[in-house]
């Protein structure tokens, strides 16, 4: 069994569908019951479990359900659930900080810690969905950057601590065409400016991230541990001269 958090939209939904297409049983979480039903219907072998990762008891319940369905086995964990926050730093209060950290960072810590015994038993793998915003700063995204930077650091630390039995890797999507992207980028002009930063000349697709995540969970990536892979069309490769 593989547990995927935040699997009802965007990158998460694509991950669920990719794993299901490979015949791998998946339990995925989300807060949108209607969307969860749609993803489950489109991904044979998947199961939706409604849960808010900001609520520790619901995260624990999702893990318990995954273990029950998997007969106690957990072969993979994908910490994908996330929320965004575009706000000037001086306009960001503690409530906003706590809201973002609860989902993007604390839930990753909690769920990974609780899932580790089962992962250790069967030599599983963990993929944390971070962001290029965790590797480089961006104006107006200080809280989001901090939350994803913490995920990257946690991934690398756990890869060192448990890498002989469980592999830990992180993917860092760049500008991917998802619902979250549409919320962060409110107008066409800003979107055009973002695309100009990307050497590939376009937004990424959720499926491109999903294929990488599925590979990292597979035996084909058996010697990949502690990696932080940017999936960004080259955006963070270096500085581009403005056109």
Active-site amino acid positions: 144
d(CA 216, CA 223): 10
Strand order in the sheet with 26-30: 46-50, 26-30, 2-4, 76-79, 125-129, 167-173, 228-231
């Amino acid at each position: 069994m593989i547990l995927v958090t935040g699997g009802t939209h965007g990158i998460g939904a694509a991950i669920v569908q990719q794993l299901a297409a490979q015949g791998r049983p998946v339990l995925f979480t989300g807060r949108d019951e209607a969307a969860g039903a749609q993803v489950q219907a489109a991904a044979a072998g998947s199961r939706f479990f409604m849960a808010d990762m900001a609520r520790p008891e619901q995260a624990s319940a999702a893990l318990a359900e995954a273990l029950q369905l998997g007969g106690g086995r957990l072969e993979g964990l994908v910490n994908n659930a996330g929320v965004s926050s575009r706000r000037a730093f001086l306009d960001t209060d503690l409530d906003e900080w706590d809201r973002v950290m609860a989902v993007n960072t604390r839930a990753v810590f909690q769920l990974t810690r609780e899932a580790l015994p089962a992962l250790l038993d069967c030599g599983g793998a963990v993929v944390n969905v971070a962001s290029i915003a965790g590797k480089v700063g961006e104006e107006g995204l200080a809280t989001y950057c901090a939350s994803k930077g913490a995920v990257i650091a946690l991934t690398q630390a756990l890869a060192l601590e448990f890498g002989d039995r469980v592999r830990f890797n992180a993917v860092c999507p760049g500008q991917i065409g998802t619902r979250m992207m549409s919320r962060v980028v409110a107008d066409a002009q800003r979107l055009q400016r973002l695309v100009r930063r990307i050497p590939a000349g376009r937004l990424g697709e959720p499926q491109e991230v999903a294929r990488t995540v599925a590979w990292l969970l597979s035996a084909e990536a058996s010697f990949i541990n502690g990696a932080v892979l940017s999936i960004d069309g080259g955006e963070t490769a270096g500085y581009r001269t403005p056109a």
